[in-house]
Amino acid sequence: MHKSALSEVDPQIAEAIYNETQRLASGLELIASENYVSEAVLEAMGSVFTNKYAEGYPGRRYYGGCEFVDVVERLAQDRAKQLFHCDHVNVQPHSGAQANMSVYLAALKPGDTILGMDLSHGGHLTHGHPLNFSGKYFNVVPYGVDKETERIDYKELERLAHEHRPKMIICGASAYPRTIDFERIAAIARAVDALVLADIAHIAGLVAAGLHPSPIPHADFVTSTTHKTLRGPRSGIAMCTEKHSKELDRAVFPGVQGGPLVHIIAAKAVCFHEALQPGFKAYQAQVVKNASILAETLRNAGFRLVSGGTDNHLILVDVSSKGLTGKIAEKALEKAGITVNKNTIPFDKNPPLISSGIRIGTPALTTRGMREEEMQKIGTWIAEVLSAVDDTGLQERIRLEVERLCHNFPLYQSRLQRYDKASSI
């Protein structure tokens, strides 16, 4: 059996990678922010571009030998522009957090007031959480969802905008199952002379496919991760109108980052290329359909869903409606081979590490080819496991069923077959 360079040099890391590949292949990945990249994306990430320093931008580098880096970065820029129809894009942010930090650096000064969605209502740490740089350097006014509808309270957002006159309104979310009205938020911002940052990290794939309204025509800045619904490498991008392009580029480099991760930019370019293919729209449509079927199955099993359901790729289940905490539910499901994450729900009475909800998303399983029938089956298994969280026999039975199902939807098979664990690692 062929031994890889990695298994020769570092068998411990090789074994961990093998085990992770096996874990991905044999379990149900329902974490809403995760996905499985293609072999082409993985190949670009593992390329020799990791060797290269390329501070600066195409045609204006601080290092020699960047002619092929420029090819890669320009392709990534052109494809991102084609995908999102934006004026300007910076493809260098290492992550979603750094994309957001770059926008803040480009547009704000320390002490400025920003309006951001509360983490516990579905927002992200970088939208003003006290422990994050955004909460430390800016005067944050949080907004959230309406207690009854559990949808963004646009009227309250408007009231807060008029009361506090923020420099910027940040919209977009990590755990919000409904369509976001970017146009309405932008109109609120315009009325008080505030800038708009739309963070589409979670819904970027849906936006690219035209299945969620795009913020591009309305926002000054749009940031995203590339590894969630967009199905690219773990990274970020920042887009803006032409007016802000110089400030944004200066903020990413040299403001927030040093050398770009060129191998990751290459992988982002591949991801954008894949997202421009006709099959990507069908994939995103299935992601949304799968989420709605899973939501319906869980609702029929008696679970309360935050906001009553979903318009996008994720569902927030209030497990306290069954006397559970998110922590207990996450652990029980993990034992049955089903990976979700505990999540606070709006107005949660539990702290984040306990929480009253679980967040479930369909991007990864849809990539595997699972559809309505599988979603019904999985929803039923989730309900069964959560009806008896201490029943280890039940968890084991479902784990075996999960493995059988996964066997029919193979993942990274060639990677698992390439090395025989016993003889090569």
Answer for which of 180, 201, 251, 275 binds ligand PLP (CB under 6 A) is 201
Active site residue: 15, 34, 53, 335, which one? 53
Answer for which of 14, 27, 33, 358 binds ligand PLP (CB under 6 A) is 33
- Part in contact with ligand PLP (CB under 6 A); list of ranges 199-207, 253-261, 292-300, 359-367: 199-207
Q: Which of residues 215-234 bind ligand PLP (CB under 6 A)?
A: 225
Asked if 344 touches ligand PLP (CB under 6 A), the answer is no
Residue 228 annotated in active site? yes
Using the minimum distance from each CB to ligand PLP, give the nearer residue, 288 or 405.
Answer: 288
**Residues ≥6 apart with Cβ < 8 Å to 295:** 305, 309, 310, 315
325 sits in the region (left: phi over 0; alpha: psi -120 to 50; else beta) called beta
Asked if 199 touches ligand PLP (CB under 6 A), the answer is yes
Asked if 144 touches ligand PLP (CB under 6 A), the answer is no
Active site residue: 3, 81, 190, 234, which one? 234
Residue with tokens 């970065």: 73
Residue 29 annotated in active site? no
Residue 55 annotated in active site? yes
Under 8 Å between Cβ of 32 and 363: yes
Q: Kindly state the number of chain residues that form the binding site for ligand PLP, as judged by CB under 6 A.
A: 14
Residue 53 annotated in active site? yes
Angle at 383 between CA 329 and CA 121, to 5 degrees: 50
In the chain, % helix, strand, coil (3-state, to 5) comes to 50, 15, 35
Using the minimum distance from each CB to ligand PLP, give the nearer residue, 41 or 406.
Answer: 41
Asked if 236 touches ligand PLP (CB under 6 A), the answer is yes
DSSP string, 347-404: T-SS-TTT-SEEEEE-HHHHHTT--HHHHHHHHHHHHHHHHSTT-HHHHHHHHHHHHH
Using the minimum distance from each CB to ligand PLP, give the nearer residue, 202 or 268.
Answer: 202
Q: Which of residues 62-101 bind ligand PLP (CB under 6 A)?
A: 95-97
**Minimal CB distance to ligand PLP: which residue?**
96
Using the minimum distance from each CB to ligand PLP, give the nearer residue, 96 or 215.
Answer: 96
Residue 118 annotated in active site? no
- Looking at residue 119, what DSSP letter applies? G
CA distance 321 to 387: 11
- Part in contact with ligand PLP (CB under 6 A); list of ranges 19-27, 171-179, 273-281, 293-301: 171-179
Nearest CA to 121 among 300, 283, 307, 302?
307
Residue 249 annotated in active site? no
Asked if 174 touches ligand PLP (CB under 6 A), the answer is yes
Under 8 Å between Cβ of 206 and 212: yes
Active site residue: 36, 126, 178, 225, which one? 225
In order of 32, 184, 330, the CA distances from 21 in angstroms are: 19, 43, 21
DSSP string, 194-246: -EEEEE-TTTHHHHHTTSS--STTT-SEEEEESSSTT---S-EEEEE-GGGHH
Using the minimum distance from each CB to ligand PLP, give the nearer residue, 172 or 379.
Answer: 172
Task: List residues with catalytic annotation.
Answer: 53, 55, 199, 225, 228, 234
Residues interacting with ligand PLP, by CB under 6 A? 33, 95-97, 124, 126, 172-174, 199, 201-202, 225, 236
